[in-house]
Structure 1
Amino acid sequence: MKKAHLVLFAVSFLVAACSSTGNTIDNSPPEADEPVSEVIETPRTAPTDWHHLSSDSEYTGAGTEKTYSEILGNKTPSKKVIVAIIDSGTDIEHEDLAGNIWVNEDEIPGNGIDDDENGYVDDVHGWNFIGGKDGNNVDKDTYELTRVYLKLRDKFKGKSSSDFSPQEKEEYQYYQTIKAEFDEKRAEAKTSFENLQNVKNAIDGAKNIFKVSSIDSVSNKELEPNYNDGAYRKQAKQIIKYFRDLDVTEEDINDAYKQFDKMYNYAYNPDFDPRDIVGDDFEDLENRFYGNNDVEGPRSDHGSHVAGIVGAIRNNDLGMNGIADYVSLMIVRTVPDGDERDKDVANAIRYAVENGADIINMSFGKAYSPRKFYVDEAFKFADENDVLLVTGSGNSAENIDSTISYPNKFYEDGGMMKNFLSVGASSWMGDSLLAADFSNYGMRVDLFAPGVDIYSATPNDTYESFDGTSMASPAVAGAAALLMAYYPNLSAHDVKTILLETVTKPSNVVYKPGSDQAVSFSSLSSTGGILNIFEAFKLAEIKSSGSN
């Protein structure tokens, strides 16, 4: 997403230049501000396993490998821990995941019968709450802002404010606020999408002139000025050189186009609603038994990556190592390419708890939660059953003490969930860049964990590096699973407490995410620290011995 915004910045400048100079393009790049320069200039790279390295290494990792080599070498795990991955779907046949995918032993695969009578037919590896009985699946969906706007728009459409009760007037004012935000977001998405369309058309023209399949294959020598160049060839050279000077590839432009295509045509589109695919009554919160057993779905890259961080098979000479070695990954597909719906989240949590999950990882988030009370009830159910919930703090570089994001541990009716962790993302770059520049922060964030350039599983036996608090959250979930496997007498709250009490506490002054303001790293979360699995195991040994 960071690169998408850089591309958009470049595209906006290019379109403005074309508009103001009669379709001629200034060959010099824009004067980017310092944060953009930091984004496009990476002085060094991290090893693919940096998040496993110890906190006293060059990279502030979580200490996974040190824990295995110095503490767990002669120990045997006592319990296989079930971690539910509530996400976009997971490639359960991936070479580095298949052996650790949860199996519902009470279900006979493929017989079309709910053998264990839990309400879900053939839920062998989990469940998909955003699919239909016919096997079709939701791919894209709207943002929650769009859904809130539509519900209020329909309620107040054609009504006069003079007829409102005091309560309705207050809700109408809220509607006006929502409408203003939606209209602004929709307009921004439209402008960005159209600008990117124009640039893609220009790039297609440049490729046609140079007779190449990608502008990135045009050599720098071919871009040198030539007296014999016609107007179109000159402009094609300017376009290619412009993006090359900014280190923006055609793939980057295509990725940005897909992002803003999604935002304009789906996420902020009031006429788009894929819920008919699921076939449930979305307003009926009592209806929990819908969906299908396709836990992979059409877009499983995010969920596979998250699952790999928690529990990819270790030391099999394939791809990468997960954090937890004695783990079962229960896959609960709930998150579309858009915002997850509260009803689905609540039902996914209940499904996971009822089917034995010890930990639930939730690498998703959004700005609105109109049915939070229903999610809260599921949180309470998880607490009652000693299940730990772990979630990313979000990727908006915002202080979530003042800008609320969901899910969070605070109940609408007061109080909070006991067994809940919110995780920010730390970077391998250290020093002033230790806090990931996209990570949300604040006292509602419990701790940070590695979340930049994290190498993990992606569909079809591939591997990629992703950024996000979505990657930091499963690092903590994996650490919790590792603790529970070796110390099964510890409760979910014990494990949470151990993880918080043993964080690495850097003294760094860092850039506050999203700005160039210098702050203490310790001010960015309630613990002021980064996940340290090695220290967590040392404390777990003491606490576990004391509880026997």
Structure 2
Amino acid sequence: MLLWGPVEAQRARNFVLHDTTSQAPHNWFNLDPETDRIPGVSTERAYRELLSGKTPTEVIVAVIDSGIDVEHEDLQGRIWVNPGEIAGNGLDDDGNGYVDDVHGWNFIGGPNGEHVDFDTYEVTRLYKVLHAKYEGKTVAQADNKHEFALYQKVKEEFEAEREQWESQAVAFRPFYEQYAAARSQLQAALGKEEITLQDLEQFDPQTDELKLARGIVGFAYTNDLDDAQIEEFHSYITRFLDYNLNPNFDPRHIVGDDYSNKQERFYGNGLVEGPDAEHGTHVAGIIAARRDNALGMAGIAAPVKIMVLRAVPNGDERDKDIANAIRYAVDNGARIINMSFGKAYSPDKALVDEAVRYAAAKGVLLVHAAGNDSKNIDQGDNFPTKRFLGSKKSAENWLEVGASAWGSGTTFVGDFSNYGRKTVDVFAPGVDLYSTVPGSEYRSMSGTSMAAPVVSGVAALLMAYYPELSASQVKDILKQSAVRYTKGRVNLPGEEPESKRGQTRFKKLSNTGGVVNAYYALQLAQKQSKRQ
């Protein structure tokens, strides 16, 4: 049994939760641990018991991500429209430096309407630069000993990962080619596009070639490998080897900026969807999908407008783009910035830190996903980070978010989620969240990328109904009102559950030991508002 209660309370409330281990309950992240017996963030209960009859003010939430399908049926009326811009006239009507930024801005787009889709990992970019300077040298020959040590670390990581995917390719690509040829032969022989295992069992091949084809395709099917899975793995291999881990690949010419000029701000285009908006659209739906249209799913915060900032490719985002996206959001009225991305290295962290300080000075809350590496990030970074470079100080306007699951078992924490008693502030639902994807469709996805927008949505509720609250006050309220997991043990991400280190107490995974909760946060906000 799990014991739950708001962190600020002196006594934890006892809630008996449903132990659902197979399939996520519908709308679970919006449900309540007491009334529904599901450890969501109590959105529905908050609207029903605390917000009925109250009038909110609109809150702009900037989503820095891969792009968003602004035409999605469940996001209609929820996408920010720049009031000072006239769409499609090719002019910077509001004088903010960005032409036709109607819904936000694409910092990885080009002046001719092109887009960066794939990009390298930061470790690949560092490897390329440092390899040219230090390969073949000893530490005694290095001008910069710190940089030389960084190269040794980067080289080991890059070459190990590249070798892993090259080995996968050597093993998989011959099978992939054989499978594709065999499937094509069977399609022609059977006269149908979609082939089932039953088709193969009933088929009587008359040639050795068709017998071999049936054997190859049958082997895949009986091992639960379908066409989509085989194609997906092939695309992964291609992506990693040709793009993410390829030092010779550089798509930055598409953007057309001077990348060495870190202070350059006005580049990109206004086409905010981009070529692959699945991730960003899913994030946007969690925050703001309509609650009044009986379609698909319900987001957390009804009185919200989503500002779309495309800066994250299929690969690692670049610090220059993230810094500029933060500044754009702040300058154009966002009160919350959702950042569901991260990487292992940040060569221009000082640039991002400067933007974070700028957001803090303007009262903007930053919500960041802790990452999906099953690691303790007290002992390793997932950039961007709230701690400033070369300082013990951290951003006061920052929330770091881990991912929780549903039910009362040891699998309460997402097995992929990063954690950290010092670094991670709160957890939020991040396993099997059903939300919007491009083309007015929906699907379930998991990750701290999904947990962060849950927190952004709850923060937006507080700001909408208590607009006098500052970003730092909202942060404190969310932490103080988080619901504690006070009894029992959970699986420690990255460890075998049966091992000595395999389980821990949930309270040790973040500095609050709690899961964000809209109901308790709104109650606390009301108390604080009366005191002001």
Same fold (TM over 0.5): yes
Per-residue deviation at 1:380?
0.3
| Higher mean displacement: 173-182 or 131-140 | 173-182
Q: Which residue of 2 aligns with 1:222?
A: 201
Distance 2:427 2:218 in 1: 40
Distance 2:111 2:246 in 1: 26
2:308 aligned counterpart, secondary structure: strand
Tell me if 1:481 matches 2:460. Answer: yes
Per-residue deviation at 1:163?
4.5
Per-residue CA deviations over 1:419-452 (Å, capped at 9, x if unaligned) read: 1011111112431110011111112111111111
CA RMSD, Structure 1 to Structure 2 (Å): 2.3
Matches within 5 A, 1:339-358: 339-358=316-335
Match of 1:392 among 358, 365, 369: 369
Q: Which residue of 1 aligns with 2:292?
A: 315
Q: Which residue of 1 aligns with 2:260?
A: 283
Per-residue CA deviations over 1:202-252 (Å, capped at 9, x if unaligned) read: 32244246436778722298189x99996973784476356544x443322
Paired residue type of 2:434: Y
Distance 1:126 1:390 in 2: 18
Q: Which residue of 2 aligns with 1:12?
A: none
1:219 aligned counterpart, secondary structure: helix
Tell me if 1:447 matches 2:426. Answer: yes
The answer (yes or no) to whether the contact 1:87–1:333 under 8 Å persists in 2 is: yes
The answer (yes or no) to whether the contact 1:209–1:236 under 8 Å persists in 2 is: no
1:338 aligned counterpart, secondary structure: coil
Per-residue CA deviations over 1:107-143 (Å, capped at 9, x if unaligned) read: 1211111111111111111001001111111000000
Per-residue deviation at 1:70?
1.0
Distance 2:138 2:493 in 1: 44
Per-residue deviation at 1:198?
2.3
1:390 aligned counterpart, secondary structure: strand
Distance 1:408 1:381 in 2: 15
Distance 1:280 1:91 in 2: 25
Q: Which runs of 5+ in 2 are unaligned?
A: 1-19
Per-residue CA deviations over 1:520-546 (Å, capped at 9, x if unaligned) read: 111111111111111111111101111
1:145 aligned counterpart, secondary structure: helix
Match of 1:139 among 114, 117, 136: 117
Q: Which residue of 2 aligns with 1:532?
A: 517
The alignment's TM-score, normalised by the length of structure 2, stands at 0.89
Per-residue deviation at 1:376?
0.3
Match of 1:375 among 331, 346, 352: 352
Matches within 5 A, 1:48-87: 48-56=26-34, 57-77=36-56, 79-87=57-65
| Higher mean displacement: 110-119 or 471-480 | 110-119
Match of 2:491 among 511, 514, 539: 511
Tell me if 1:129 matches 2:107. Answer: yes
The answer (yes or no) to whether the contact 1:309–1:471 under 8 Å persists in 2 is: yes
Paired residue type of 1:189: W
Paired residue type of 1:499: L
Per-residue deviation at 1:65?
0.6
The answer (yes or no) to whether the contact 1:216–1:250 under 8 Å persists in 2 is: no
Paired residue type of 1:370: P
| Higher mean displacement: 385-394 or 108-117 | 108-117
For the structure 1 residues 492 and 220, does the alpha-carbon distance in structure 2 shift closer, same or farther, using more than 3 Å as the test?
Answer: same
Per-residue CA deviations over 1:454-481 (Å, capped at 9, x if unaligned) read: 1111111111111111000000000000
The answer (yes or no) to whether the contact 1:207–1:215 under 8 Å persists in 2 is: no
Q: Which residue of 2 aligns with 1:96?
A: 74
Distance 2:195 2:431 in 1: 26
1:336 aligned counterpart, secondary structure: coil
2:64 aligned counterpart, secondary structure: strand
The answer (yes or no) to whether the contact 1:436–1:513 under 8 Å persists in 2 is: yes
The answer (yes or no) to whether the contact 1:205–1:236 under 8 Å persists in 2 is: no
Structure 1 runs (4+) deviating above 3 angstroms are 156-165, 208-216, 226-245
The answer (yes or no) to whether the contact 1:209–1:233 under 8 Å persists in 2 is: no
Per-residue CA deviations over 1:384-413 (Å, capped at 9, x if unaligned) read: 011000011001111111121111100013
Q: Which residue of 2 aligns with 1:17?
A: none
Q: Which runs of 5+ in 1 are unaligned?
A: 1-41
State percent identity of aligned pairs: 47
Q: Which residue of 2 aligns with 1:22?
A: none
The answer (yes or no) to whether the contact 1:207–1:214 under 8 Å persists in 2 is: no
The answer (yes or no) to whether the contact 1:55–1:532 under 8 Å persists in 2 is: no
